[in-house]
Amino acid sequence: MRNEPLYDEILRRNPGEPEFHQAVREVLETLDPILQARPELAEARVVERICEPERQIIFRVPWVDDAGRVQVNRGFRVEYNSALGPYKGGLRFHPSVNLGIVKFLGFEQIFKNALTGLGIGGGKGGSDFDPHGRSDAEVMRFCQSFMTELHRHLGEHTDVPAGDIGVGGREIGYLFGQYRRITNRWEAGVLTGKAPGWGGSLARPEATGYGAVLFAAEMLRVRGEDLDGQQVVVSGSGNVAIYAAEKALALGANVLTCSDSSGYVVDDKGIDVALLKQVKEVERGRVADYAERRGSSARFVADGSVWDVPADVALPCATQNELDEAAAAVLVRGGVKAVSEGANMPTTPEGVRVLTEAGVAFGPGKAANAGGVATSALEMRQNAARTVWTFAEVEEALTDIMRDIHTTCHETAERYGAPGDYVRGANIAGFERVADAMLAQGLI
Ligand code: GLU
C-alpha cells in the first residue's frame, strides 16, 4: 500500500494502541485507488491529517462510592475531525477503555458519520469506569463528576456525545442534568440518546440494531434474497443486539442466539425479545438469567463461541474483535451468507479476509451500524427545530438513510474496481466526503 511509510510513522507515534493501529490500517489499505485517481489529496497530505485527531482530552474523574470511599477514574474525549460538522460520537463506560480504544472508535466514527451524509464530524469518548454492580446513585455521582470536567468542551455546535457500551438512557439523563446545571442552558442538542419526554428522538434506542439488519437486508437483496425464513445468530445482549434481534424477527427471520461476556444462549424456539429486554434493560441481569427464565427451549453455554451456531446471517453486536479468523471459518462452514456488523470493528482483519474470500457479503460497522449515529443526527435536527417526529417518521428516515449508505458503498466499490467489497466502498466513500471538505477548508 502507498501509505506504508505513514502507517509505520503512526505505529511509532502511537505506541501501545493495537486497536487504533488496526482501525487505521484497515482504512489505509483501501485508499490506494482514490489516492491514485486524485493526486491533489496526497499533495495536501489529507490522509496524514485525518489520522491525527484535532484534539485529545484526558481528565481525572473523582467520585465517592456508596461506602463513602473515594474512587478515581480516567475520562477521555477525542475530538477527531470536524470538517463535516460538530464532533459526534458516543461515550463508552467500560473497564477496557483507554486512549487507544477511544482513538480507534473516534477514527471509525469520522468515516461512519461522513457516510450518513448528515453533517456530523467524528469524535468519541468514555471512561474506564465499570457500571456493572454499581448502584444508580453511584452511576449518577460518576456521571456528574465526568460532566463537570467534560462540559467545557461540549456544545450543540461543537461536540455532541451520545451513548455507547455502558452508556444508555440512564447515563445520558444524568449527564444532561449536570450539563444543564453547570451551564444554565437548556441546550437539547448537546447530547443525543435523551428520553423522548425531554428532547430525545423516538426510535433512537432501536436505530443501531434496526439499521444493521436493514443493511443486511440490502446486501441480501442485491443477491436476490431477503431475510424471510433465514436463521440469524446475534452476539451481545445490549441495546444494539436487542434491537437487531427485534428487527430481524420483524422481517421474518429466526434469531437463535444472544451472548454476554460470560457465555451465550441458544434458543431453539427463537429469542424472546420481550423477555431479553426485561432481563437486560429492567433487571440489568445476564443472558444466563434469560435462559433460566425462558425454560426448556433455551440453554446457556458458558464456554465456546456463539459463532459455533450455524446460521445464514451473522450479526456481531457485542464488541471489537469478537469474531476472529477461526470463528469466521466456522461460520463459513456453517453456510453463512451475510455478516453485518452492529458493533464497532467486531471482526478481526483475518476474520474479514476469511469471510470475503468465501464470498460472504460483509457489511463493515462503519456502514452497517451507522443507523445509530444517523438517528442521533435526526435527534439534533428535531432539537434545532424544536419539534418531535413520530416513531414512523424517524424509522422511515432511518430506512432511507441505510439504503443510501448501502448504495453509496456498493457503487463506490464498483467504481474503484472492487464490486461487492463493502469495506473498500465504505472507506473510500467516507474518506472522499471528509477529504473534499478538508481540501476546501484549507490547511487547518
Ligand atoms: N456509539 C454509537 C456509534 O458507535 C452512536 C454514536 C452517536 O449516536 O453519536 O456510532
- Of 224, 61, 269, 274, residue with least CA distance to 151: 61
Sheet holding 257-260, edge to edge: 257-260, 263-267, 298-301
- Of 164, 177, 178, residue with least CA distance to 131: 164
Ligand 1 centroid from CA 164, angstroms: 6
Alpha carbon distance 263, 265 (integer Å): 7
Q: What is the pLDDT of residue 12?
A: 98
Pocket of ligand 1, beta carbon within 6 A: 88-90, 162, 164, 192, 344, 372-373, 376
**C-alpha dihedral (203, 214, 208, 242), degrees to nearest 10:** 90
Give the pLDDT confidence of 115-172 residue by residue, as tens digits: 999 999 999 999 999 999 999 999 999 999 999 999 999 999 999 999 999 999 999 9
- Per the CB < 8 A criterion, the answer to whether 355 and 341 are in contact is no
- Per the CB < 8 A criterion, the answer to whether 414 and 422 are in contact is no
- Ligand 1 pocket test, pick from 156, 208, 317 with the greatest ligand atom count within 8 Å of Cβ, gives 208
Ligand 1 centroid from CA 430, angstroms: 16
**Minimal-distance CA residue to ligand 1 atom 5:** 373
Q: What is the pLDDT of residue 116?
A: 98
Q: What is the pLDDT of residue 215?
A: 98
Q: Which grid cell sits at 396?
A: 422511515
Alpha carbon distance 243, 204 (integer Å): 11
Alpha carbon distance 211, 399 (integer Å): 7
Alpha helices in 196-333 (DSSP H): 204-222, 239-250, 273-277, 287-294, 325-333
Q: Which grid cell sits at 152?
A: 467545557
Alpha carbon distance 381, 377 (integer Å): 6
**Minimal-distance CA residue to ligand 1 atom 10:** 373
Residue 369 alpha carbon, nearest atom of ligand 1: 10
State the fold for domain 4-187: Rossmann fold (3.40.50)
Ligand 1 centroid from CA 109, angstroms: 8
Q: Which grid cell sits at 40?
A: 491533489
- Ligand 1 pocket test, pick from 319, 373, 375 with the greatest ligand atom count within 8 Å of Cβ, gives 373
Residue 308, helix vs strand vs coil = helix
Average pLDDT along the chain: 97
Residue 179, helix vs strand vs coil = helix
Q: Which grid cell sits at 134?
A: 454499581
- Ligand 1 pocket test, pick from 164, 171, 190 with the greatest ligand atom count within 8 Å of Cβ, gives 164
Ligand 1 centroid from CA 124, angstroms: 8
Given the residues 112, 124, 277, 366, the one annotated as active site: 124
Q: Which grid cell sits at 280?
A: 437486560
The answer for residues whose C-beta is within 8 angstroms of residue 164's C-beta and 6 or more apart is: 89, 90, 91, 92, 105, 124, 126
- Match 456525545 to its residue by C-alpha cell: 161
Average pLDDT for 78-105: 98
CATH superfamily of 206-363: NAD(P)-binding Rossmann-like Domain (3.40.50.720)
Has 124 been annotated as catalytic? yes
Residue 163 alpha carbon, nearest atom of ligand 1: 1
pTM for this structure?
Answer: 0.97
Give the pLDDT confidence of 316-351 residue by residue, as tens digits: 999 999 999 999 999 999 999 999 999 999 999 999
Ligand 1 centroid from CA 224, angstroms: 31
Alpha carbon distance 393, 421 (integer Å): 31
How distant is the alpha carbon of residue 271 from its chain centre?
Answer: 23
Alpha carbon distance 213, 218 (integer Å): 9
Alpha carbon distance 106, 385 (integer Å): 28
Residue 375 alpha carbon, nearest atom of ligand 1: 8
Average pLDDT for 296-320: 96
Ligand 1 centroid from CA 293, angstroms: 31
Q: What is the pLDDT of residue 2?
A: 87
Ligand 1 centroid from CA 408, angstroms: 20
* pLDDT for residue 303 is more than 90: no
Q: Which grid cell sits at 437?
A: 471538505
99 band by pLDDT with thresholds 50, 70 and 90: very high
Q: Where are the domains of the chain?
A: 4-187, 206-363
Give the pLDDT confidence of 142-152 residue by residue, as tens digits: 999 999 999 99
- Per the CB < 8 A criterion, the answer to whether 429 and 408 are in contact is yes
Q: What is the pLDDT of residue 364?
A: 98
Strand partners, 125: 77, 91
Encoded amino acid at 368, one letter: A
Average pLDDT for 55-59: 98
Length of the chain equals 444
Encoded amino acid at 327, one letter: A
- Per the CB < 8 A criterion, the answer to whether 119 and 377 are in contact is yes
Average pLDDT for 23-35: 97
Ligand 1 centroid from CA 335, angstroms: 31
- Ligand 1 pocket test, pick from 19, 77, 109 with the greatest ligand atom count within 8 Å of Cβ, gives 109
- Per the CB < 8 A criterion, the answer to whether 20 and 97 are in contact is no
Q: Judge whether 4-187 and 206-363 match in fold.
A: yes
- Of 407, 429, 411, residue with least CA distance to 419: 411
304 band by pLDDT with thresholds 50, 70 and 90: confident
Average pLDDT for 67-91: 98
**Minimal-distance CA residue to ligand 1 atom 8:** 373
Give the β-pairing of 338-340 and 313-316.
parallel
Q: What angle do CA 63, 66, 70 make, to 5 degrees?
A: 35
The answer for residues whose C-beta is within 8 angstroms of residue 361's C-beta and 6 or more apart is: 219, 220, 222, 223, 337, 338, 339, 420, 422
Average pLDDT for 250-254: 98
